[in-house]
Amino acid sequence: MADSDFHSIRVATLRGDNKIPFDIYVRVAGKYILYCRSGESFEGTRLERLRAKKLKKMFIKTDDQIPYDQYLEQSVEQAFDSKSRKTLEVRAQVIQGFQQATAEAFMENPQSESLYHHLSSTAQRFVEFVSREPDAAKPILAIENTDMSITHHSVNVAVLTILMALNSEFKNSTKLHLLGLGCMMHDIDLFHTWQDYGKPVDQLSPAELAAYKLHPKLGAGRLQNVGFIDQIVMNVITQHEEYIDGSGFPKGLVGKEIEPVVLLAAVANAYDRLVSFQRLSPKEAQKTLMIDKLGLYPLEHMKNLTSIIRSLNII
């Protein structure tokens, strides 16, 4: 069969326990091999094996595009429905996968205004979901980032940042959905990088470190020729690696020069980087953050994060 007979789909959208009404294929050496038959589901070890192989896309037959769209819509609507018979764990996993896939689609094509607005609308719904059902954060954060995915990390950062905002003076901010959106896009340059961003920063060579310190600026550069990016989103992208003492990057801003809500995202980013990329346990990551980053972020934000992960019984 020819390439035109197949349509790519994102692995992240296959989370949940709904049975799929279409066959799914993988592409090996230019050939399409049947991987999962219609009537089966992707829950459990099958999906984890795919994630471990860093497989982001699979394929369906072009004729199955409508059944796939219906499957995705049904799964997502069930997940957002608080009255659904699905468990909160399953619902949270579906929403995480959908949000990750939406972020991936935009990062692959950051010049697309329609994809940006789609990501923005899903981010708003995601923020509302986490605000309404904060316990969903635990199953979302429990999904292991086995393939060191930037978009998986970005969703984690968004969850933690939203909860931190709700537990602070920013809880009634109209900026909350844009803050969540910015978190989902904050490492857009690393999505395209050649670098091994899984290394601890103190283990990077001078050349690697110099390149790494440019990723906020280069991320913004990928969006500089479009006019549809909200300013708060751009601030999250450009400022999430800044420290209040001026020792951060790329500009070395001091506390008063950094967008206040961005500092929430910065703390969440620092914590999840330790978990997602350096493979520390949540307890080890929290301890490392409090020791290594003391004085670099507002202490109340670091305590806020600790309070949240404790309340979720993550540590």
Q: Identify the bridge partners of residue 28 per DSSP, sorted by sequence position.
A: 31
Q: Are the CB atoms for 182 and 237 separated by under 8 Å?
A: yes
| Strand, helix or coil for residue 279 | coil
Q: Treating both helix axes as pointing N-terminal to C-terminal, what angle do 260-276 and 299-311 enclose, rounded to 10 degrees?
A: 50
How far apart (Å, rounded) are the C-alpha atoms in residues 222 and 229? 11
Distance between CA atoms of residues 3 and 303, nearest Å: 52
pLDDT over 80 (residue 45): no
pLDDT digits (tens, 9 = 90+) for 203-242: 888 988 999 999 999 999 999 889 999 999 999 999 999 9
- Sorting pLDDT into bands at 50, 70 and 90, what band is 17? confident
Return all residues near 197 (Cβ < 8 A) that are at least 6 apart.
Answer: 148, 150, 190, 212, 277
Question: From the centroid of its chain, how far is CA 94?
Answer: 13
What percent of the chain shows pLDDT beyond 70?
99
CA distances 207 to 14, 131, 204, 213, 214, Å, are 39, 41, 8, 10, 11
305 in Cβ contact with 271 (< 8 Å): yes
| Domain 87-311 architecture | Orthogonal Bundle (1.10)
The residue ranges of every structural domain in the chain are 1-85, 87-311
Residue pair 72/98 in contact (Cβ under 8 Å)? The answer is yes
Tokens of 154: 């970005």
Query: How far is it, in rounded angstroms, from Cα 161 to Cα 253?
Result: 21
Average pLDDT rounded to a whole number, residues 165-177:
87
Query: pLDDT at position 286, please?
Result: 98
Strand order from edge to edge, sheet including 31-36: 6-10, 57-61, 24-28, 31-36
- What is the rounded CA–CA span in Å between residue 297 and residue 267? 7
Contact 18, 75 (CB under 8 A): yes
- Could you give the C-alpha distances from 118 to 87, 101, 181, in angstroms and in order? 26, 12, 11
* Ranges assigned E (strand) in the chain: 6-10, 24-28, 31-36, 57-61
Query: pLDDT band at 121, cuts 50/70/90?
Result: very high
Q: Residue 20 has what DSSP assignment?
A: P
Picking from 145, 141, 147, the residue whose alpha carbon sits closest to that of residue 311 is 141
Maximum pairwise Cα distance, the chain = 60
User: How far from the centroid of its chain's Cα atoms is residue 127's Cα?
Assistant: 13
Overall pTM > 0.85: yes
Place of tokens 């290394």: 199
Q: 3-state DSSP call for residue 9?
A: strand
User: How confident is the model over 238-297, as pLDDT tens digits?
Assistant: 999 999 999 999 999 999 999 999 999 999 999 999 999 999 999 999 999 999 999 999
Nearest to 276 by CA among 160, 102, 136: 160
